[in-house]
Amino acid sequence: AEETPAAGAAPQVDQSNLPEATAIFASNVTAVGGQDKIDAIKSYYSESTMEIPSQKIEITNKMWWSKGDFYAEAEMPGMGVTKVWKVGEALWSEDPINGLRKLEGKEAEQQLRNNSLVLTAEWQKYFETAKTSARRMIDDKPVVDVVLTTKSGDEVTMSFDEGNGLLVEQSYMQDSPQGKIPMTMRIDAYDDYDGFKGVTKSTIDMTVAVIKSTITKFEPNVKVEKGKIKPVSYTHLRAHETGRNL
């Protein structure tokens, strides 16, 4: 006799003919506008908000990005401004709690790939392998999961709508000075920017809190002010170290 799923159990999803990870990535690149549209974006300026409803907190973010380098600010009321900037291979962070520090190891890797314009278009820059792991349902839509693994063993699972190729969900363990934090980001909305489709709304579940993220401004190919993205100077670093040792 045919077995029926137990009450409350997830429905069985056909796992046959799972597409290769590279084919899924190619479909995603096409879905967001194609490689030409991605390559045409040489710089951008963006503004966004991150709301934590349970704590009644709203963080405002600004990002200046140019050819892979960037400078970002995140301001939290009562806590001050957190800054992150990347120039060449150097990646730095400065925040009211941990001060100025150079990001290295997994934390740096995560920061870099999280600021990739389209991760699937350059996944090999950040990961060693990518393998399709399963097909499942999210909100009654079939999605395919791809597990990407870095050289150090860090894993990211990206879930794509099998119908339109767009990213639906992404999950990973975030490394931070406070330890590892499980993160799951669900994409809520996309918008079109002259043929390039970008994420405008997402929900981030950190287990201890849920964050609602909204892109309020995205301006591609704007002129980034000279000196806005610059490396940490010796003077800046020395001033920080001197102040910290007082």
The answer, yes or no, to whether residue 49 has pLDDT greater than 70, is yes
pLDDT band at 179 (very low <50, low <70, confident <90, very high): confident
Residue 180: per-residue pLDDT: 81
Describe the chain by its helix, strand, coil percentages, rounded to 5: 20, 50, 35
Structure confidence at residue 211 (pLDDT): 95
Residue 245: its pLDDT value, please?
47
Residue 6 has pLDDT above 80, yes or no: no
